Amino acid sequence: MKNFGQRYNHKYIRNFIQKIFIKSKLSKIDSYIVASSLVYADLKGVWSHGIARTSVYYKRIEQKLAKARPKIKFKKIFPSVAHIDGDNGLGFIIANQAIKKCISLAKKNGVGVVGVHNSNHFGMAALYVEKATKNNCICWVFTNASKAIPPHGSMTPHFGTSPFAFGCPTNNPKKPFIIDMASSSVARGKLKFAAQRGEKIPFGLALDKFGKPTNDGFKAFEGIMLPFGGMKGAAISWMMDIVAGIFTGAAHSGKVKNPIKDFSGSSNVGHLMICIRTDVFQKGSFFKKKMKTGILKVKKLKLAKGFKEILYPGEPEYTNYVKNLKQGIQISEDVRVDLERLAKKLKIKSIF
Ligand SMILES: NC(=O)c1ccc[n+]([C@@H]2O[C@H](COP(=O)([O-])OP(=O)(O)OC[C@H]3O[C@@H](n4cnc5c(N)ncnc54)[C@H](O)[C@@H]3O)[C@@H](O)[C@H]2O)c1
């Protein structure tokens, strides 16, 4: 499932998306946070969680299912633990504040743990993990999401495609080690666009709504998403619902609303963030030096058939970033049309 389209300078697009959120009554700074988070996902090649989702977030604000100006509340639980009530603001804004808090707790106490409730879809999980790596922390970010995946043994979607995300610094500050993967075989966002574009998808990613294997993007999006690795992905998706949902006090057990299709109320997504300073057990820059040796060792291993190089998680996205920064981000025709329609509605001059 690839993304094709004309390339545009990312700053140009970011300004445009920021205008959309300013018109949606977000503050200038929060509009910038949302716009730059979406554009950053596109720069990284994670187009399914980039500007293509602008109208989804806009619609939730427009329909008053999410707040443009939330009053985010912080509660200190223990010296290194905070609880955040996101007051139903956009997930990007809340998660940005949550990771800042988590990093500052870790800097002070060695470890920071932040639980968030009353939030919304926060996009690409790597956004937050990467901030922690730039502050010399290892980090885990968990979120739950609307029902899409059946627990192992069921054919009823119940848990989210919730991404498992981990990051740590390497000796290259621009290229942290970042695992950021949906617990489904493929991110649901990619299926949405396959459905929209009438594309075929590989078998094994989803079932249709009757439980039959399908390679039809539309039937898959309307149907049942499959976890990655069978029961193992299903278990991770359940774990995400426990730690980000039950544990934080957010919605859980199939109650998180689908941001794209369910307009019956607020989503109440939960997030859990954990940051630990890299020098808690070994002083100074020991961690980064050992990461460097570890990565070099892996890169020298014998290649499997068909491979030219061994990459570490986060590296493919960094390569996309460097390329897209230079050449511009790709905007597909359906996304361009959607953004133009939104701009017209909000009386913003089109840039396309
Ligand atoms: N907020 C939500 O509710 C939600 C839900 C689902 C997915 N998402 C987001 O969707 C995005 C896409 O998820 P996905 O599962 O499609 O990711 P993916 O399959 O593209 O990548 C998964 C991971 O594999 C690594 N990887 C890829 N190729 C590699 C290679 N050749 N060698 C080594 N590592 C490699 C990547 O660096 C990444 O960490 C993520 O950013 C995720 O946060 C968000």
Q: Is pLDDT of 186 > 90?
A: no
> Which atom of ligand 1 approaches the CA of 178 most closely?
39
* Alpha helix ranges (H) inside the chain: 10-23, 28-43, 54-62, 91-109, 126-133, 188-196, 217-222, 231-240, 286-299, 315-327, 333-345
Q: Which helix (H) or strand (E) holds 320?
A: helix 315-327
Pick the CATH number of 1-62+313-352 from 2.40.50.140, 3.40.50.300, 2.20.25.90, 1.10.1530.10: 1.10.1530.10
Q: Is pLDDT of 226 > 80?
A: yes
**What is the model's pLDDT at position 196?**
82
Q: What does the block give as tokens for 204?
A: 């094994």
Residues facing residue 269 across a β-bridge: 119
Q: Is pLDDT of 195 > 90?
A: no
CA of 335 to the centre of ligand 1 (A): 21
Least confident piece of the model among 39-48, 192-201, 328-337: 192-201
CA of 112 to the centre of ligand 1 (A): 24
Query: pLDDT of 201-212, one tens digit each?
Result: 999 899 999 989
Burial of 56 (0-12, 13-18, 19+ CB in 10 A): middle
| Cβ pair 148, 159 in contact under 8 A | yes
Query: pLDDT of 73-116, one tens digit each?
Result: 999 999 999 999 999 999 999 999 999 999 999 999 999 999 99
| Cβ pair 252, 270 in contact under 8 A | yes
Q: How many residues would you count in the chain?
A: 352
Whose alpha carbon is nearest atom 19 of ligand 1? 181
Least confident piece of the model among 39-43, 145-149, 216-220, 285-289: 216-220
Q: How far apart are CA 116 and CA 72, in angstroms?
A: 10
- What is the domain partition of the chain in residue ranges? 1-62+313-352, 71-184+227-300
| Cβ pair 189, 48 in contact under 8 A | yes
- What top-level class would CATH report for the domain 71-184+227-300? alpha beta
Which strands make up the sheet holding 177-181, listed edge to edge? 73-78, 81-85, 111-119, 269-277, 137-143, 164-168, 177-181
* Alpha helix ranges (H) inside 197-230: 217-222
Burial of 73 (0-12, 13-18, 19+ CB in 10 A): exposed
DSSP state of 147: S
Whether this model's pTM surpasses 0.85: yes
The model's confidence at residue 197, banded by pLDDT at 50, 70 and 90, is confident
Pairing, β 224-225 against β 269-277? unpaired
Looking at residues 191-205, what average pLDDT do you find? 86
**What is the model's pLDDT at position 1?**
65
Q: How far apart are CA 59 and CA 345, in angstroms?
A: 12
Q: Which residues line ligand 1 (CB under 6 A)?
A: 46, 48-49, 121-126, 143, 145, 160-163, 178-182, 186-187, 311, 313-314, 316-317
Q: Is pLDDT of 153 > 80?
A: yes
Whose alpha carbon is nearest atom 36 of ligand 1? 313
CA of 317 to the centre of ligand 1 (A): 9
Q: How far apart are CA 85 and CA 346, in angstroms?
A: 30
**What is the model's pLDDT at position 221?**
87
Q: What does the block give as tokens for 101?
A: 């808090």
Ligand 1: which of 170, 181, 221 to mutate, judged by most atoms within 8 Å of the beta carbon? 181
Q: What does the block give as tokens for 192?
A: 């949405």
Q: How much is the mean pLDDT over the chain?
A: 95
At a CB cut-off of 8 Å and minimum separation 6, what does 190 contact? 1, 48
Q: Which residue has the higher pLDDT, 326 or 261?
A: 326
